[in-house]
Structure 1
Amino acid sequence: MSDKLDKMDARILNLLQRDASLGVKEIAAEIGLSVSPTFERIKRLRKEGYIERYVVLVNREKLGKHLLVICTVTLKQQSLETLKSFEEAVSKFSEVLEIMCIAGNHDYLLKIAVKDVEDYHIFVMKNLSAIPNVSNVSSNFVLKEIKKETALEVQI
């Protein structure tokens, strides 16, 4: 196991981040290697954890999820048990796209997609506020997404 990236690995990772549906033949042609070594590189990148998974990015607006909310949550206490309990509970909600444990004035930052403000209000009242140990929920409504990127450019 090498755990060291070279320029070819970086090119493969950048290509796959732009379009995960690319086949090995397409990637090989783009980077100037034959199919077999390209396949072996991709296999190694997966094995070493550089490639976590392949996903499709769905347009949330097309699915009727017009409101994006950045929500901060503060817990009453921060013991290991209460943190794990909160994380497990909030992970089950399909509306929650991302969960980040943060340092500062709040304990968690959540990215939530819902239909509208009423839908969000119901979500907070029925789900988020119902989780034991939640002290405070603060909501920020996204007016406009300026940059929406999932790719992390790999440079060697």
Structure 2
Amino acid sequence: MHFSFTSLVLALIAFLILYFLLNKYAFGPLFSVMEKRRELVLQQINEASQTREQAVAYVEEQKQALQDARKEAYDIIEQSRQTSTKQTEQLLEQAKSEAARIKEEAVRDIQNEKNKAVEALRSELGSASVKIASKLLEKEVSSDAAQEELVDQYLKEVGGRS
């Protein structure tokens, strides 16, 4: 194996020319393509990260909206429950007042009918008393026993008419 200095210099010059040509025409575009590819991958990673963050934020927003909707539905149900309770209380109060009013009217009507009956009875009793007195005067009964018999007889007649 023989080593020649000239071949080494020529190989070295050829290598440097090749390196210069490769660097100018091959490595530059190749590194530029690789750099663009690296930037594209980084950009896609960043976009994926942003998309993931947006998705997480959207999910949180949807959770919050769902929670708000549930709270609103619960509030509506509570308000409906309170309204129905108030309406029930109002209806019960109206029914009680109506029942009290009807009861008062019935008591008043009963009292009026009672007063009318008492008045009619008094009138009837008054006329019966007058008739008894007139019969007593007509007969001018002298004994107490005869007067009592006459009163009993007239009361039987009056009792028989009723």
State whether TM-score is above 0.5. Answer: no
| Bigger fraction of residues in helix | 2
The two structures have a TM-score, normalised by structure 2, of 0.19
TM-score (norm 1): 0.19
